[in-house]
Structure 1
Amino acid sequence: MTLPSDIKPVSYLKANAAEILRDLAEQRRPLVITQNGEARAVMQDVASYEETQETLALLKLLALGNREIEQGREKPVSDVVARLKAKRVPD
């Protein structure tokens, strides 16, 4: 993050909303919005937001998997494959 160009006051956001939205989409870098000199919000383009959400979802799945392993709830792959084959609907 380039601090001087990626941090703007809320007054700049109000005056340049269309330009900011265009820049967010083109540059795909987050923008920190300040109010009274303090960071208050972070804006980002929709594609970057969606990628972040997908990444978080995968990390949550990994964490859940690790927790199940720690609790001894893992199953051999052969058991899982057999269970999936049993549920398969014939062609």
Structure 2
Amino acid sequence: MMNMMMLIIYMFFMSCLLFTTLYKHLLVSLMTLEIIMMNLMLFTYMYLLLLKFEYFLMFFLLMTVCEGVLGLTLLLLLVRFKGTDKVKLINLLMW
């Protein structure tokens, strides 16, 4: 159990490191955000399993799916209007 927690924490920090280093394309950033959410889901599942509150995991998964759909929708709109998903070419103040 403790080794699994250490692995999940290690994966979380590595995915946060990936998120901070791979930021040029929005699609890659969204994919690393999904990996972070998967790690958080595993982490909360381990604790909620001990407390017998597994049904709270469904709320977390619902929020994760909504976040993913919203991110992909914004990516689609960005590619349609700007022609690229590079983050350095986006000026959010002018949008």
Normalising by structure 1, we get a TM-score of 0.30
User: Larger helix proportion, structure 1 or 2?
Assistant: 2
Normalising by structure 2, we get a TM-score of 0.29
Kindly indicate whether structure 1 or structure 2 has the higher relative contact order, using CA contacts under 8 Å at least 6 residues apart.
2
